[in-house]
Structure 1
Amino acid sequence: MSSLSESNKSAPGTSSLAVKVDDLHITYKTTFERKPTLKSALMRFGRGERGVFEVEAIKGVSFEVANGVSMGIMGSNGAGKSTLMRAMAGILPPTKGSIEVWGKASTLLALGVGFNPNLSGRENIILGGLATGLTRVEVEERADEVAEWTELGEFIDMPMRTYSSGMSARVAFSVAVHMKPDILMIDEALSTGDAKFREKANAKMAELRDSARAMFLVSHGLNSIQEMCNEAIWLNKGELMMRGEPGEVIDAYMSFLKVKKTATATEEI
């Protein structure tokens, strides 16, 4: 049995928890091209055959996150980090187990997803706000503030197809953090942009954390998790390996990888 409960029906204050994940399993199927044999190639005129491969992305993961927690999620590529985030955001349904989410979640899982490249940054701010569930009036009340916060100047009124990845990141991040979310989910959002903007983004994240909103941050930059989170989990091949204080989890993770703790390593793992 699987279930996903986004408890927006009740006020976030009705529970001491922000998110509860119970025995979560996520399995999906993908296809690949098999190399044809000479006989099958002749029979099918050289066309490859499609094979089906089943991937167990998340395997029996359980944890609870209280209000006020900033949770960092670390792990190698393919560990299941982004899959877990998408499941908590309601994008991917559980194959087995359950997820409960209290309050309104603002997700920044992929920079610029949902934006229309032919519209301006300002127009996409309005679209992004509407996508979070705000009314047109609420979005318009905040649009100018969000646009100013991006510090893009006149570019905010130019088509987003003309933006660099860093400029798009500013718009996407600004929308996510200014829509007053109860729970903020960010997947590698801070890896793009200049040092000044990252510092400003870190300050905004600290503001959200201090206002008792829960935050989830997936990042290969372990320094970001160390600085911005007060708890962390480590995933490996879909399994929960460890949960604890960020420094302890980072040390265990790097020891597992047999990587020395250097400034370069903690920014790129």
Structure 2
Amino acid sequence: MGDLAIEVRDLGVRFRRNRRGRRSFKDLFADSSRRSKPGEFWALRGVSFDVRPGESIGVVGRNGQGKSTLLKLVAGVLLSDEGKVQVNGGVAPLIEITGGFVGDLTVRENVRLTAGLHGMSRAEVSRRFDGIIDFAELHESVDTPYKHLSNGMKVRLAFAVVSQLEEPILLVDEVLAVGDKAFREKCYTRIDELLSEGRTLFFVSHNEKDLRRFCERGLYLDKGGLVMDAPIAEVLDRYNADYNAG
């Protein structure tokens, strides 16, 4: 296990189809049964795989098949109902892009807060602050409340902060689908730099071009199960064939 970046064994997680969504902590403690109850469904079940340090993994599948749920489990945002996720090393998560930012705080204050929550010391934040603002192209908005930024600005700020983290595992969920072409190219270049440093990439995307560019290996999820674990080209060929077959 020590030679692995991520180890997933028989992973399963349930959700409810009502407005309460994910089960509460009270539900978790009160219910020891592993059987699904009316209104519940398994978003993932029986999923197992390993990720070695430095691997770049692309996760593919149709909407609602468990891709983002899997990423959140690896990030520690969700708890599993079955099985386990073992992550050896810190993660830099680019998921739910606006999460963690406070609307009434300025860009400057949000950079300090968010970077600090991700484990950066005050000295590190100060040292990296100008680089973050340069990357996000927010020089004129540094003292603007976050809630007044456009969606594009929010994406740029989030990517700029998280891409400065020195964690060994980078989790990315569709963030490159947002933003203009010029900014996407900056993100591509930054991801290339991180991969060249030996970082591990766990990448959820519907963009086949991006998946082929960054990923060596693919995981194909369907109906909450792992259908295929193989080189990314083979996984995409299988996924496209299944998709075209309806």
Query: Normalization by structure 1: what TM-score?
Result: 0.81
1:124-163 equivalent positions in 2, closer than 5 A: 124-163=110-149
Q: CA deviation at 1:52?
A: 5.4
Q: Does the residue aligned with 1:256 lie in a helix, a strand or coil?
A: helix
Give matches, 1:101-250, under 5 Å. Answer: 101-250=87-236
Offset of 1:32 from its aligned partner?
Answer: 5.6
Task: Look up the SS of the partner of 1:25 in the other structure.
Answer: strand
How far is 1:182 from its partner?
0.8
Larger Rg: 1 or 2?
Answer: 1
The alpha-carbon deviation at position 259 of structure 1 amounts to: 6.8
1:55 counterpart SS class: strand
CA distance in 2, matches of 1:120, 1:32: 33
1:157 is paired with a residue whose SS is coil
Q: Which residue of 2 aligns with 1:17?
A: 4
Structure 2 counterpart of 1:169, one-letter code = V
The equivalent residue for 1:27 is 14
The correspondence for 2:59, drawn from 73, 85, 98, is: 73
Q: Return the alpha-carbon distance in structure 2 between the equivalents of residues 166 and 21 of structure 1.
A: 34
Q: CA deviation at 1:115?
A: 0.4
Contact 1:74 1:218 (C-alpha < 8 Å) held by counterparts: yes
Q: Distance in 2 between matches of 1:164 and 1:247?
A: 36
CA distance in 2, matches of 1:108, 1:20: 20
* Structure 1 Cα separation of the partners of residues 68 and 147 of structure 2: 26
Say which SS state the counterpart of residue 258 (structure 1) adopts: helix
Matches of 2:108 and 2:245 in 1, distance apart?
Answer: 43
TM-score (structure 2 length as normaliser)? 0.88
SS of match in other structure, 2:42: strand
* Residue 70 of structure 2: aligned partner: 84
**Distance across 2 between alignment mates of 1:240 and 1:254:** 16
Point out the structure with the larger strand share.
1
CA RMSD of aligned residues (A): 1.9
What are structure 2's unaligned runs of at least 5 residues?
21-36
Q: How many angstroms does 1:252 deviate by?
A: 0.6
Deviation by residue 1:206-258 (Cα, 9 ceiling, x = unmatched)? 11111111111111112111111111111001100111221211111010011
Please give the alpha-carbon distance, in whole angstroms, between the structure 1 residues aligned to 2:107 and 2:226. Answer: 38
Q: Which portions of structure 1, spanning 4 or more consecutive aligned residues, are displaced by more than 3 angstroms?
A: none
CA distance in 2, matches of 1:156, 1:254: 43
Tell me the number of residue pairs that the alignment of Structure 1 and Structure 2 aligns.
230
Aligned partner of residue 31 in structure 1, secondary structure: coil
Give the secondary structure class of the aligned counterpart of 2:163: helix
| Matching residue's letter, 1:15 | G
Partner of 1:38: none
- The aligned amino acid for 1:190 is L
